[in-house]
Amino acid sequence: MAILRRHERRRKARWKGKKKVPVSSIRHRFADTGTRFGKFYQPAAASTLEEKLADAAEVHRLTGTCPSVAVHVLWDFRPDQDPKEVVRLAESFGVRIGAINPNVFQDQEYKLGSFCSPDPVARKKALDHTLYSIEIGRAVGSTLLSMWLADGTNYPGQDNIVRRKHDLEAAFKTIHDAMPPGMKVLIEYKPFEPAFYHTDIADWGMSYVLAKHSGPNAKVLVDTGHHLPGTNVEHIVAFLLDEGMLGGFHFNDKKYADDDLELATIDPYAVFRIFNVIAQHEFDTGRKPEIAYMVDQSHNLKPKIEAMIQTVDMAQILYAKAQLVDRKAQAVAQQACDIVAAERYLVDAFQTDVRPVVAEWRKSKGLPVDPLKAHRESGYVERVAKERTAAREARGEVQSSSFA
Ligand code: MN
Ligand code: MN
């Protein structure tokens, strides 16, 4: 028992040294969302940027670790709007603008792709929009340009895959070189969907190669849901960290495909293992890598703010657990070829209940110990549901739930 208690004290000491908890930037999904088959409405869902920022601020107020909001250029900026106005609006809510997401997948021209499309008009439109997004990013002081492409083909023989690759490389080089100093482009990958035969940036290796061809300010973005079943995501993360090529995450969880469920709803141990390789990297190198932690989830059924609070809570807890691995002792076990002991250091940390230390950390920051409970008791959702329903009616908005 004494040994266990000593262990416990050491763990607490390790955790206390790492007061910073991870989710520093969220991609808001506070608006109405749905599946491929329909959109499901919530009276409290945000429809305007102002409402999205208010919701993001509510999550930050309760969790203390989500100070920035990722934005979609097409959805969140009106063409006639001064980007500085958006900055001021965010500031008035106590949050700031995080990653800028160009949208090169929604318009009709992109039916056959954006940078990879066989149609030069589509390619030019995609590039112009991305360069415009960089200007928006510059104006709002964002340091991240986050790129996800829907490019791919549905049929073997539909297009020349290598021609597409070359156009993609040229576009990313142009984008990279157009960025102001201090801005990074993060290149996201995904194995399939919306394309079902081939995707132009299908995995981390392709993102890595594109980033390398682009220049030093291009990095890989790991969306935890964008892997085929069975992929060892933490291996990819460790590999990219060692190469200095990990730019950031889009957090979510999945059971089957790109499900966009809340982080760790299906497999908390998998998320713990990702935080573990990051903590290991810090231990091995003595350096804290610059990683953009973002949330990319679709809260179709759960109330959106509650889903986001659950996500942040889980991220904080799993991050804390990953700090508890006794890395010195584990290294000794590894060198002694004692695989059982080496694994146990990991499992032991995962099994430790860190809720009391996370609660202490929250208290020390003046945050509610139970953010979900505090949110429910605040009456925020009931209030904004009334206000937003009235505002939608005043704007004469008709809600149509079908994508078909
Ligand atoms: Mn994503
Ligand atoms: Mn996705």
Could you tell me the distance, in angstroms and rounded to a whole number, from the CA of residue 258 to the centre of ligand 2? 5
Three-state secondary structure readout of the chain: CHHHHHHHHHHHHHHHCCCCCCCCEEECCCCCEECCCCEECCCCCCCCHHHHHHHHHHHHHHHCCCCEEEEEHHHHCCCCCCHHHHHHHHHHCCCEEEEEECCCCCCHHHHHCCCCCCCHHHHHHHHHHHHHHHHHHHHHCCCEEEECCCCEECCCCCCCHHHHHHHHHHHHHHHHHHCCCCCEEEEECCCCCCCCCEECCCCHHHHHHHHHHHCCCEEEEEECCCCCCCCCHHHHHHHHHHHCCEEEEEECECCCCCCCECCCCCCHHHHHHHHHHHHHHHHHHCCCCCCEEEECCCCCCCCHHHHHHHHHHHHHHHHHHHCCCCHHHHHHHHHCCCHHHHHHHHHHHHHCCCHHHHHHHHHHCCCCCCHHHHHHHHCHHHHHHHHHHHHHHHHCCCCCCCCC
CATH superfamily of this structure's domain 9-391: Divalent-metal-dependent TIM barrel enzymes (3.20.20.150)
User: What confidence tier does 329 reach under pLDDT thresholds 50, 70, 90?
Assistant: very high
Q: Which ligand is nearest to the CA of 251?
A: 1
Rounded to the nearest 5 degrees, what angle is found at the Cα of 59, between the Cα atoms of 390 and 369?
A: 125
Burial of 181 (0-12, 13-18, 19+ CB in 10 A): exposed
Could you tell me the distance, in angstroms and rounded to a whole number, from the CA of residue 69 to the centre of ligand 1? 14
Could you tell me the distance, in angstroms and rounded to a whole number, from the CA of residue 369 to the centre of ligand 2? 31
- What is the per-residue pLDDT for 398? 74
- Of the candidates 245, 293, 254, the one whose C-alpha atom is nearest the C-alpha of residue 27 is 293
Could you tell me the distance, in angstroms and rounded to a whole number, from the CA of residue 340 to the centre of ligand 1? 36
Count of other CB atoms within 10 angstroms of residue 22: 20
Which conformational region is residue 181 in: left (phi greater than 0), alpha (psi within -120 to 50 degrees), or beta?
A: beta
Interatomic CA distance for residues 99 and 71, integer angstroms: 6
How does pLDDT run across 139-173, given as a tens digit for each residue?
Answer: 999 999 999 999 999 999 999 999 999 999 999 99
- What is the per-residue pLDDT for 18? 47
Does pLDDT of 404 surpass 50? no
- Of the candidates 80, 93, 78, the one whose C-alpha atom is nearest the C-alpha of residue 28 is 93
Provide mean pLDDT across the span 348-376. Answer: 97
What residues have their beta carbon closer than 5 A to ion ligand 2? 258
Could you tell me the distance, in angstroms and rounded to a whole number, from the CA of residue 307 to the centre of ligand 1? 17
Could you tell me the distance, in angstroms and rounded to a whole number, from the CA of residue 250 to the centre of ligand 1? 5
How does pLDDT run across 11-68, given as a tens digit for each residue?
Answer: 554 544 444 554 545 554 688 887 778 888 999 999 999 999 999 999 999 999 999 9
Burial of 84 (0-12, 13-18, 19+ CB in 10 A): exposed
Residue with tokens 């700031």: 96
Does pLDDT of 340 surpass 50? yes
Is the Cβ–Cβ distance between 143 and 89 less than 8 Å? Answer: no
How does pLDDT run across 249-278, given as a tens digit for each residue?
Answer: 999 999 999 999 999 999 999 999 999 999
Position 209, amino acid: V
Position 310, amino acid: Q
Q: Which ligand is nearest to the CA of 99?
A: 1
Is the Cβ–Cβ distance between 276 and 322 less than 8 Å? Answer: yes
Q: Mean pLDDT score of the chain, rounded to an integer?
A: 92
Interatomic CA distance for residues 343 and 45, integer angstroms: 44
How does pLDDT run across 89-126, given as a tens digit for each residue?
Answer: 999 999 999 999 999 999 999 999 999 999 999 999 99
Q: Which ligand is nearest to the CA of 225?
A: 2
- What is the per-residue pLDDT for 307? 97
Q: Which ligand is nearest to the CA of 188?
A: 1
User: What confidence tier does 10 reach under pLDDT thresholds 50, 70, 90?
Assistant: low
Could you tell me the distance, in angstroms and rounded to a whole number, from the CA of residue 252 to the centre of ligand 1? 9
- What is the per-residue pLDDT for 266? 98
Could you tell me the distance, in angstroms and rounded to a whole number, from the CA of residue 328 to the centre of ligand 2? 37
Strand partners, 97: 69
Q: Which ligand is nearest to the CA of 254?
A: 2
How does pLDDT run across 218-255, given as a tens digit for each residue?
Answer: 999 999 999 999 999 999 999 999 999 999 999 999 99
Could you tell me the distance, in angstroms and rounded to a whole number, from the CA of residue 225 to the centre of ligand 1? 8
Is the Cβ–Cβ distance between 43 and 389 less than 8 Å? Answer: yes
Q: Which ligand is nearest to the CA of 27?
A: 1
- What is the per-residue pLDDT for 1? 37
Domain coordinates in residue numbering, the chain: 9-391
Q: Which ligand is nearest to the CA of 298?
A: 2
- What is the per-residue pLDDT for 2? 44
- What is the per-residue pLDDT for 14? 52
Could you tell me the distance, in angstroms and rounded to a whole number, from the CA of residue 256 to the centre of ligand 2? 12
Task: Pick 81 or 13 by higher pLDDT.
Answer: 81
Could you tell me the distance, in angstroms and rounded to a whole number, from the CA of residue 199 to the centre of ligand 1? 15
Q: Which ligand is nearest to the CA of 193?
A: 2
Could you tell me the distance, in angstroms and rounded to a whole number, from the CA of residue 91 to the centre of ligand 2? 28
How does pLDDT run across 378-394, given as a tens digit for each residue?
Answer: 999 999 999 999 999 99
Residue with tokens 């179709």: 300
- Max Cα–Cα distance, the chain, nearest Å: 71
Could you tell me the distance, in angstroms and rounded to a whole number, from the CA of residue 227 to the centre of ligand 2? 10
- What is the per-residue pLDDT for 23? 56
Give the list of residues 6+ apart from residue 117 with CB closer than 8 angstroms, or none: 109, 110, 123, 126, 151
Could you tell me the distance, in angstroms and rounded to a whole number, from the CA of residue 188 to the centre of ligand 2? 9
Provide mean pLDDT across the span 264-293. Answer: 98
User: What confidence tier does 81 reach under pLDDT thresholds 50, 70, 90?
Assistant: confident
Could you tell me the distance, in angstroms and rounded to a whole number, from the CA of residue 40 to the centre of ligand 1? 21
- Lowest average pLDDT, out of 1-5, 41-45, 212-216, 269-273, goes to 1-5
Does pLDDT of 332 surpass 90? yes
Is the Cβ–Cβ distance between 262 and 252 less than 8 Å? Answer: yes
